[in-house]
Amino acid sequence: MSGDGTHVVHAGLPEPVPGQPFLPGPVFAAPYHLDPDAGPGLNGYGRPDNPTRRGLEAAVGSLEGGQVRAFASGQAAITALLLSVLRSGDTVVLPSDGYFPVRAFAEGTLRDLGVSTILAPTAGPRPALDGVRLVLIETPANPGLDVCDVRETADAAHAAGALLAVDNTTATPLGQRPLELGADLVVASGTKALTGHSDVLLGYVATNDDQLLDKITTWRTQTGGIPGAFDCWLAHRSLATLDLRLGRQTANAAAIAAMLRDRSDVTGVRWPGLPDDPSYEICARQMRRIPGVLSFDLGGADRVARFLKASALVFAATSFGGLHTSADRRAQWGDDTAEGFVRLSCGIEDTEDLIADLTVALDRS
Ligand SMILES: *Cc1c(COP(=O)(O)O)cnc(C)c1O
């Protein structure tokens, strides 16, 4: 296997053809021409079949080490997984500290369909898994950055007859490959670091289990939550720089985490790359690189607002993993975090510029 930089540059590209582009442009088609004798072939209709989408799926599949189905958003992928695997009377285990719309979906739609939910903190303790059909973990968890051991959780889930799915959004497949660690399924939002330009919504499910892949594919074809061809093409184009982007984001996060930790006016600094962070040990063992996302507390909503206004480089924005450094006070979205809790997503700007800007903004806030 080649290095990460080489891998992402070549992932999912067709064989070179003279006169053709490296990455063919998006194919926009609802129906395609059919062969009047043979009928539908590889491309019959756009909902099940699109070559641009297949190219992206091949690329992400090679990174995750599995078969991939792309969806219109991370939530479309996660709900596709939950609704195609779970049936009335089943129990699902979800993170109590993970992406909160997933919990909201479980407490609304899933409950109404007769599916019970057990919420468990990412850092443990793990609940008893007897009678559980599916365990979904998010590691590192967004936004609190706790982690859990994927292999150990996979073993426990399998011993109880349950499936394990891992939300790999924050890590990206260059950060960890959950299928190799024993997970049955990966779900992720491609909206964040995977595509990284803050201009695409995307999601995917990955698996090596043909039956599960079949269920997911049928679900997507029948419910229709596909990403458009242009978004798939933008995403595939963006993948080529994933290694470079993550490298700079991680370096920026390391410098910023060290700076924040030395300040007495910033509390609760979390970054899994800090040796005394509660997530450090598992990350060091399980992850190939540490994400460029960190969190801290500025004490209250007012100070966060002053900090954001005083900064010239940090955009006030939700989402994370993009080229631009951004910060989000999660409580403004109804998340159950503290009023002054900030998730900072490090972009790819120069480290010295970010440190200087953040220092001034904190001093002035
Ligand atoms: C953003 C996010 C999602 C949802 O993805 P969308 O593309 O916004 O639908 C799911 N899981 C995690 C961990 C996320 O950060």
- CA 313 / ligand 1 centre spacing (Å): 24
Query: Is the distance from the beta carbon of residue 100 to the nearest atom of ligand 1 less than 6 Å?
Result: no
Q: Tell me, what's the pLDDT at 162? A: 98
Domain boundary among 208, 239, 270: 239
Q: Distance of CA 27 to CAs 39, 42, 43, Å?
A: 20, 14, 11
Q: Which of 197, 213, 239 is the last residue of a domain?
A: 239
Please list the rounded mean pLDDT of every run of 10 residues in the chain (365 residues).
93 97 98 94 95 98 98 98 98 96 97 98 97 98 95 98 98 98 98 98 98 98 98 98 98 98 97 97 97 98 98 97 97 92 98 98 97
Shared-domain flag, residues 200 and 318: no
73 lines ligand 1 (CB under 6 A): yes
Does any ligand 1 atom lie closer than 6 A to the CB of residue 169? yes
Cβ of 191 less than 6 Å from ligand 1: yes
Clarify whether residues 233 and 153 are in a common domain. yes
89 and 118 part of one domain: yes
Domain boundary residue, one of 205, 239, 273: 239
Instruction: Give the pLDDT confidence score for residue 336 in this predicted structure.
Output: 84
pLDDT in tens, 320-335: 999 999 999 999 998 8
Give me the number of domains the chain comprises: 2
Same domain, 128 and 270: no
The whole-angstrom separation of Cα 245 and Cα 255 is 16
Question: 226 with 338, same domain?
Answer: no
Q: Where are the beta strands (DSSP E) in 221-309?
A: 267-270, 293-297
Task: Using the atom order of ligand 1, give the atom closest to the CA of residue 201.
Answer: 7
Shared-domain flag, residues 124 and 25? yes
Q: Which domain holds residue 183?
A: 4-239
* Whole-number pLDDT of residue 267: 98
Q: Are residues 251 and 131 in the same domain?
A: no
For residues 206 and 273, state if they share a domain.
Answer: no
The answer on 140 and 271 residing in a single domain is no
- What is the structure's pLDDT at 156? 98
Q: What is the CATH number of the domain that holds 344?
A: 3.90.1150.10
pLDDT at 1: 59
